[in-house]
Amino acid sequence: MMKKITYVLSFLVVVSLVIFLILPLFQAGSGAGRPRIGEDWHASYLIVIYGKAVPSFPTTPGGVHTHGDGLIHSHPETPSEEGRGANLARFMSTAGGLLTEDTLALPTGERYTNGDRGPDGRPGRLSLKVNGQEVKPIATYVPQDGDDLVISFGAE
């Protein structure tokens, strides 16, 4: 009888480990931590060029957009806009701009590429700070709900 109880308890411990430790690893690989269709995430954003803030973009279309309020609204409407597709490059494209790992093009047509010389003659560099910490890669970063993003281009 005691052996049976020991086997049952061992089985329950193993099942608990699978549920609470191993299963979340598979969920993380499947896109957990990224917005899905039906969810509504918000991250504040600021774009700074050589120390000057760029005004927030006006309202943009799509599932990764803004309402002109300084927030990136991620509420995917299609499979291509959810998960990894809810990234900063998509946000910039909905606004009429472009974002790659080394180039930022604003909807106004202004374009900044790593190495371009700034007003002081020094080469500039594109960077992304998320909640105060520099993050790479830039273009494929998927803003998390509540993030505070600063995309900047300036002297290295």
Q: What phi and psi values does residue 48 have, to the nearest 5 degrees?
A: -125, 125
pLDDT at 29 over 70: no
Q: Measured between alpha carbons, how far is 3 from 139 in angstroms, rounded to an integer?
A: 57
Pick 35 or 147 by higher pLDDT: 147
Q: Average of pLDDT values for 101-106?
A: 98
Pick 9 or 21 by higher pLDDT: 9
73, 40 Cβ separation under 8 angstroms: yes
pLDDT confidence of residue 23: 37
Give the closest residue to 88 by CA, choosing from 150, 141, 24, 20: 141
Mean pLDDT across the chain, nearest whole number? 84
Q: What share of the chain is helix, strand, coil (3-state, %, to 5)?
A: 25, 30, 45
Pairing between β-strand 148-155 and β-strand 41-49 as defined by DSSP bridges: parallel
pLDDT at 49 over 70: yes
pLDDT at 22 over 80: no
pLDDT in tens, 56-90: 999 999 999 999 999 999 998 889 988 999 999 99
Q: Measured between alpha carbons, how far is 1 from 141 in angstroms, rounded to an integer?
A: 56
3.40.50, 2.170.130, 2.60.98, 2.60.40: CATH of 41-155:
2.170.130
